[in-house]
Chain A
Amino acid sequence: MTGEVPASGPATVVGPRPFRAIVGSTMRSILGRRRTLLVLLFLAVPILLALLARSLPGGAGQQEAVIGILDSLVVRVVLPLVALLIGTAVIGAEVDDGTIVFLLVNPVARWEIVAAKLLVAEVVTLLLVVPVTALTGAILVAGDPSVSSSIATGFAAGVAVGAAVYVAIFVAMSVLTSRALVLGLGYVLIWEGFLASLFAGTRNLSVREYTLSIAQQVAGVDLTAGQAIAWELAVVMSIVVFLAAVAIAIRRLASFSITGGG
């Protein structure tokens, strides 16, 4: 039909899958952003606060205070906000500035794009929040016989699961809307921070509750004054929410429409 067009049909496709190329490009874009610096500053806060708490007189021997710092500072604030900043950066930044078009006009399966982007966001977020949680916990419990040392491990485990779920949610949000950062912030502050914990029923739909439930199970210490949801439920719900978010992101990216040139 077109004669001797040297078009590359499927036969010439011999290069490696583009997964690695997308991962590499996404890493570079994240590391080059000012937002990433903000995340690092943010992560220093719980560590500094833990050091401060231990250096004050009477800073030892209060298990409730230790749990309080890890729950209200790390689980409520640092974890979701770091996941938000990283999770909305991997696809959301490209949606915002329009460069997503250069990724979409390629014969790349949409699931592969989402998988590569999600992998970067998950790895970066986990590498940031889990060590910070473990370190903050370790500083708070170290050499204090009156505080269970398993609390640090428990919170680190819970935060790892929570981070994985949050990141998937924020990646999906950034494909669904161009205002993912603002909406994500609203979700963290209003739903996770306030509404979800009001009733027993809504607790089942809160990533913070999954985090605490798993932390409590791993630590073997009551962290929630008996309010936590069952750890089995937390695990199942974490998987369900994660998979649902990934499925939504892939579906949405497959029919992502771009209008004109701007």
Chain B
Amino acid sequence: MTGWPTAGGPGRREKADLSRLSGVPVELVGVSRWYGNVVAVNEITFSLTPGVTGLLGPNGAGKSTLLSMIAGLLPPSTGVVAVDGRPAWRDPSIYRRVGLVPERENLPGYLTGRGFVEYAARLHRMPDPRGSAAEAVRAVALEDAADRSISGYSKGMRQRIKVAAALVHDPAILVLDEPFNGMDPRQRLHMMGLLRSMASEGRTILFSSHILEEVERLGERILVVVAGRLAASGDYREIRRLMTDRPHNFTVRSSDDRRLAAALLTEESVFGVEVGSSGLAARSADYGGFARSIALIARSAGVSLFEVVPTDESLESVFSYLVRR
């Protein structure tokens, strides 16, 4: 695994310094992007090497903005976004090496699926557009529907035909914005297999998702983006550990909250309790351990448990923990 420079670092506001680039497939150095006063991407630095990388973050974290910049569709406000060692912005020649699957679902409805992929092949000046299109359509397993008008396609079919169009020129770098949106579990599995096999051929694949499980199953490496910042990057197991080690909050309702709170405080893994009108709030470092031990503690204290609810299991709270870390 190559180095993963962490986000932030000293503010790099100077003009793009191309000599710092190492020429890996995709490289971002001190990249920020803002719209008016709103900062969408804040001082992000990372590089991508062949293999699958998952870009994880809640909606609105700046994932799409990052992908747009990598795909040369948006200039960074500061910093450099480079593909193969060259700035991606205003250089259509990068698309010989890059394939993009955008998030939007609008597709030219006057074309058939095959026609759409073939058009992409012609725009890429493929020697045999028909043959290349047929191959790409086969790769996403859409042969049966390929000759129907795109206007009648389901969400999952649209996703797959977009992937086919992005694959048609055999790109070394594939960028996918939320590729699993709208796919059923079977299609999802197929797409994951496809991306995995493309990565094993030495391609650099970056896909975004707001669903942890998708990234976990596919990404060998993970970039976590929260509120425009790179919150974590590296091996997914490492990040998974960071996520599970964080403190967990629970809300407990019982027959005697005060007595239970006192009993809980003697427990090693519990490092905070608070009794309020809506019940007892407890914080524990050990998610599974707390759930197991609270029943025993309650019984030995002579308290009946009515309800134990983890209060912060949303992805957003996981992300915000990583940011504060």
Contact = CB atoms under 8 A, between A and B. Distances in A.
A95 to B, nearest CB: 11
Nearest to A104: B73
A255 to B, nearest CB: 6
Contacts of B64: 259-261
A5 B125 contact: no
B110 A8 contact: no
Given A13-B125, A105-B73, A260-B68, A2 B92 contact: no
Interface string B163-182: 00110011110000110000
Contacts of B128: 15
A5 B68 contact: no
A2 B71 contact: no
Contact of A2 (B50, B90, B103, B106): B50
A41 interface: no
Contacts of A10: 96
Contacts of A22: 123
B124 to A, nearest CB: 6
Nearest to B65: A260
Contacts of A15: 121-122, 124-129
A97 B125 contact: no
A25 interface: yes
Interface residues of B, number: 57
A49 to B, nearest CB: 34
B58 interface: no
Given A14-B127, A15-B126, A102-B120, A7 B171 contact: yes
A186 B152 CA distance: 36
Contacts of A7: 96-97, 170-172
B50 A3 contact: yes
B193 interface: no
A256 B92 CA distance: 11
Interface stretch (B196-204, B213-221, B224-232, B297-305): B196-204
B150 to A, nearest CB: 10
B44 to A, nearest CB: 15
A2 B100 contact: no
Nearest to A25: B119
Interface in A1-38: 1-10, 12-18, 21-22, 25, 28-29, 32
Contacts of B25: 1-2
A103 interface: yes
Contacts of B111: 25, 28
Interface string A185-200: 0000000000000000
B291 interface: no
A105 B166 CA distance: 9
B110 A29 contact: yes
A155 to B, nearest CB: 35
Given A14-B127, A21-B122, A254-B90, A102 B107 contact: yes
Contacts of A104: 73, 92
A146 interface: no
A21 B110 contact: no
Nearest to B69: A257
B323 to A, nearest CB: 21
Interface in B230-250: none
Interface residues of A, number: 46
A29 B169 CA distance: 24
A7 B170 CA distance: 6
Contacts of B106: 97-99
Nearest to A13: B125
User: Which of A5, A10, A108 counts the most B-chain CB atoms under 10 A from its CB?
Assistant: A5
Given A3-B50, A8-B169, A32-B110, A108 B123 contact: yes
Interface string B90-109: 10111111111011101110
A262 interface: yes
Interface in A232-262: 254-262
B120 A6 contact: no
Nearest to A4: B202
B124 A106 contact: yes
B172 A107 contact: no
B23 interface: yes
B74 interface: yes
Given A15-B129, A258-B74, 6 more contacts: A21-B123, A101-B100, A106-B95, A107-B124, A258-B102, A259-B35
Interface of B: 23-25, 35, 50, 64-65, 67-68, 71-75, 89-90, 92-100, 102-104, 106-108, 110-111, 116, 119-129, 165-166, 169-172, 177-178, 201-204
**8 closest A-B pairs (Cβ-Cβ)?**
A261-B103, A260-B64, A7-B172, A21-B122, A15-B125, A106-B123, A258-B73, A5-B172
19 contacts: A1-B23, A2-B25, A7-B96, A7-B97, A12-B126, A12-B127, A13-B96, A15-B125, A16-B125, A98-B104, A99-B107, A102-B108, A103-B123, A106-B92, A107-B124, A109-B92, A258-B74, A259-B74, A261-B102
